[in-house]
Every structure is written in C-alpha cells, then in structure tokens.
Amino acid sequence: MNAAAPAPAAAVRVRNVQAGDLGDVAAIDLEITRVPKPEYWAEIYHRYGTGRRQQRFFLVAEAAGRIEGFVIGEVRDWEFGSPRCGWVFAINVRPKARLAGIGSRLLGAICEGFRHLGVIKVRTLLGRDNQLILSFFRSQGMMAAPFIPLEIDLEPQGTDGK
Ligand SMILES: CC(C)(COP(=O)(O)OP(=O)(O)OC[C@H]1O[C@@H](n2cnc3c(N)ncnc32)[C@H](O)[C@@H]1OP(=O)(O)O)[C@@H](O)C(=O)NCCC(=O)NCCS
C-alpha cells in the first residue's frame, strides 16, 4: 500500500483525545490555518479533553498510530434561547487523509455522543466563503438554521479615551 494514500475510514479508530495527541492535533491545525497556537490547544485540551467531560467532546481519528483528524463540540442548554442541542465547534482532517470518509466518521461519532445525552439537534457555524466545509456539512444532511449571526467591531481598549 502507498504510504501517502489516505487510510480508509474502516482502518481508522475514533476515540477520546489523549495528552499525547496534542502535537498531531496542533500540527493538523497549523497545516490548515498557518497560524501556530500552542497555548490555545493546551487550553482546549484542558477544557474539552480532560477530567469529567460531561457534555464536552474532543475526539480524534487515529490510523496506524497517527492522528488524522479531530472534532470538538459540546452540548449546550438554552443558549441563544434554544433548547438543548449539540454544537460542533471544529472539525479538521489532515489534508492528505481527506476524501476517505474520516470527516464523516468523526461527525458521526460526536453525533452519537450527543445522542447518548438526549440531544436531537446539532448545530455549527461556518464561514460564508468556506465552500469545502459547507459541502461537507451539507453532505452530512445539515441545512441552514433559523438563526442570523451578528457581529460588531469594537475599538481596541485604550483607543477611545477610557
Ligand atoms: C471538511 C473536512 C472535515 C472533510 O473531511 P473528509 O475526511 O475529507 O470528509 P469525507 O471523506 O467524510 O467526505 C464526506 C463528504 O463531504 C463532501 N466533501 C468532502 N470534501 C469535499 C470537497 N473537497 N469538495 C466537495 N465536497 C466535499 C463530499 O460530499 C463527501 O462525500 P463523497 O466523498 O461521497 O463525495 C475536511 O476537508 C477538512 O478538514 N477541511 C478543512 C476544515 C475547515 O475548514 N475547518 C475549519 C472550520 S472548523
């Protein structure tokens, strides 16, 4: 088998993140975003990957001892006035491992975790111009939600005389 070929989804194991996975997770993120953020990943691991996870999920897809992708999310109750639902904050698959079903496995696994907690609605937020992630989520059956994201630019602290 060609070592560079993506692992078929069947050869991939989806499990909870462990401390030793963080290097691979940060490397996948760096390959995609080009922004190194080691402190951020340490904090996310602390918040979503350790202790009594309760409603929080940080799952990785492992193949042949290497992390090929990850998904992070959480069950939230009554935020934005909405009954309990599962939020997917991040999903990333190593570029060379894509289109082999790993993203689908990761999303399926986190949805299964949500379902165990009684969740029947899953939501996410994505950039309008990110066609790739839009195509992926649409392929998984996700559709536009009845919400409108709003934002405002704030003056940085110290520039408004306060
Ligand atoms: C989106 C992503 C997670 C998909 O992972 P993946 O392992 O390639 O996904 P799958 O192989 O399970 O693909 C499932 C379906 O998604 C759709 N899809 C995936 N990649 C696609 C692409 N490049 N173009 C169009 N559709 C695509 C297809 O419908 C595909 O089904 P098919 O292979 O039967 O056609 C991966 O491309 C990724 O990490 N992209 C960057 C993510 C990102 O921008 N994250 C930042 C926001 S959190």
Ligand 1 in reach of 107 Cβ (< 6 A)? no
pLDDT score at 1? 45
Q: What's the pTM value of the predicted model, to 2 decimals?
A: 0.92
How far is the CA of 12 from the CAs of 8, 61, 67, 125, in angstroms? 7, 6, 9, 26
Q: Say which CATH class 9-139 falls into.
A: alpha beta
For residue 98, the ligand 1 atom closest to its alpha carbon is: 8
pLDDT at 61: 98
pLDDT digit string (tens) for 20-70?
999 999 999 999 999 999 999 999 999 999 877 789 999 999 999 999 999
What's the pLDDT score for residue 162? 56
In this prediction, residue 8 carries a pLDDT of: 73
d(CA 70, CA 7): 15
Distance from Cα 69 to the centre of ligand 1, integer Å: 11
Beta carbons within 10 angstroms of residue 143's beta carbon: 6
- From 136, 138, 142, give the residue whose CB has the most ligand 1 atoms within 8 Å, as the site to mutate: 136
Report the nearest-CA residue for atom 29 of ligand 1: 139
The percentage of the chain sitting over the pLDDT mark of 70, rounded to a whole number, equals 92
Q: Which residue has the tokens 């939020």?
A: 87
State the closest ligand 1 atom to the C-alpha of 105, by its place in the atom list counted from 1: 12
**pLDDT score of 4:** 55
Rounded mean pLDDT of the chain? 92
Average pLDDT over residues 112-137: 96
User: Residue 153 has what pLDDT?
Assistant: 97
CB half-sphere exposure, 37, CA atoms < 13 A: 14
Residue 10 has pLDDT above 90, yes or no: no
Mutate to test the pocket of ligand 1, among 59, 99, 111, 124 (most ligand atoms within 8 A of CB): 99
| 75 vs 89: CA distance, rounded Å | 11
| Pocket flag, ligand 1, residue 33 (CB < 6 Å) | no
The β-bridge partners of 73 are: 57, 88
Average pLDDT of the segment spanning 96-122: 97
CA dist 143 to 61, 121, 122, 136, 138, Å?
25, 12, 10, 11, 6
Beta bridge partners of 75: 86
Average pLDDT over residues 10-17: 92
Three-state DSSP string of 111-147: HHHHHHCCCCCEEECCCCCCHHHHHHHHHCCCCCCCC
Tell me what pLDDT residue 5 has.
Answer: 66
Which uninterrupted H or E stretch holds 68? strand 66-76
The confidence score (pLDDT) of residue 27 equals: 96
- The rounded percent of the chain whose pLDDT value lies above 90 is 83
- Position of tokens 């306060």? 162
